[in-house]
């Protein structure tokens, strides 16, 4: 083979083997995700998205009776935020984790308060009427439905996303659901200023 040809192709080969460049814009920038909400917090008080103005927020939809996925995801979010509190306390102080139930029938404010306090001291738990939850879930592109009943009750089928939202409530990125909490902290640092 021609040595000159190999030498001229070497830079292209190196580029092809290099990791993809880090995007400079958040992956969810411009997506139609999120919107105004008016729900009830874990203390039984009215809660509006306006209370989050100026703060980054992590928004996750789930339910407290979930047997496996929701507690693991919320634990990962809480642990990732705790890691960020150690490495970048100023940034971490500007982030509010929010858990919104998709099962308002069982997830009363008192149930939510016990649940969210187990994962992070600043986590906010939100519930509301079935109609309020349906509207909020739709605004965040969350699928959910009541599953088939069992002898002990019922489960909820739902999509599984943890959104990182900007201080003005715009979507920035999805936080990783799998992997160590450090991946959550790293993704927050990547997109939050």
CA-to-CA separations, 5 to 11, 59, 70, 158, in angstroms, rounded: 11, 53, 55, 55
pLDDT for res 3: 42
The predicted-structure confidence for 85-110, as pLDDT tens digits, reads as follows 999 999 999 999 999 999 999 999 99
Nearest Cα neighbor of 100 from 68, 57, 67 is 57
Is the CA virtual torsion 78, 152, 150, 108 positive or negative?
negative
pLDDT for res 179: 80
Alpha helices in 18-158 (DSSP H): 69-87, 89-92, 109-117, 130-139
Q: What's the pTM value of the predicted model, to 2 decimals?
A: 0.86
The predicted-structure confidence for 130-172, as pLDDT tens digits, reads as follows 999 999 999 999 999 998 777 768 999 999 999 999 999 999 9
109 CB-contact burial (10 Å; exposed 0-12 / middle 13-18 / buried 19+):
middle
What's the mean pLDDT in 44-71? 96
Residue positions counted in the chain: 193
Cα distance between residue 92 and residue 79, in whole Å = 12
List strands edge to edge, sheet with 95-101.
46-48, 38-41, 124-127, 95-101, 56-62, 162-165, 171-174
Strand 153-158, strand 162-165: pairing? unpaired
Residue 164: beta bridge partners? 58, 173
Residue 149: beta bridge partners? 154
Report all structural domains of the chain as residue ranges with CATH numbers, in order of start: 33-191 (3.40.30.10)
């Amino acid at each position: 083979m021609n040595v000159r040809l190999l030498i001229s192709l070497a830079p292209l080969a190196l580029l092809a083997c290099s990791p993809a460049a880090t995007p400079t814009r958040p992956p969810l920038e411009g997506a139609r995700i999120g919107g105004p909400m008016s729900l009830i917090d874990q203390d039984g008080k009215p809660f509006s998205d306006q209370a989050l103005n100026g703060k980054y927020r992590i928004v996750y939809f789930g339910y407290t009776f979930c047997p496996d996925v929701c507690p693991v995801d919320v634990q990962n979010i809480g642990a990732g935020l705790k890691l960020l509190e150690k490495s970048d306390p100023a940034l971490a102080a500007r982030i509010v984790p929010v858990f919104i139930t998709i099962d308002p029938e069982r997830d009363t404010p008192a149930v939510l308060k016990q649940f969210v306090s187990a994962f992070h001291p600043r986590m906010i738990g939100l519930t509301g009427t079935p109609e309020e939850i349906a509207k909020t879930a739709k605004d965040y592109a969350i699928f959910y439905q009541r599953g088939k009943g069992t002898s002990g009750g019922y489960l909820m089928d739902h999509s599984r996303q943890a959104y990182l939202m900007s201080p003005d409530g715009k979507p920035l990125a999805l936080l990783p659901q799998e992997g160590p909490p450090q991946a959550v902290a790293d993704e927050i640092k990547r997109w939050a200023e």
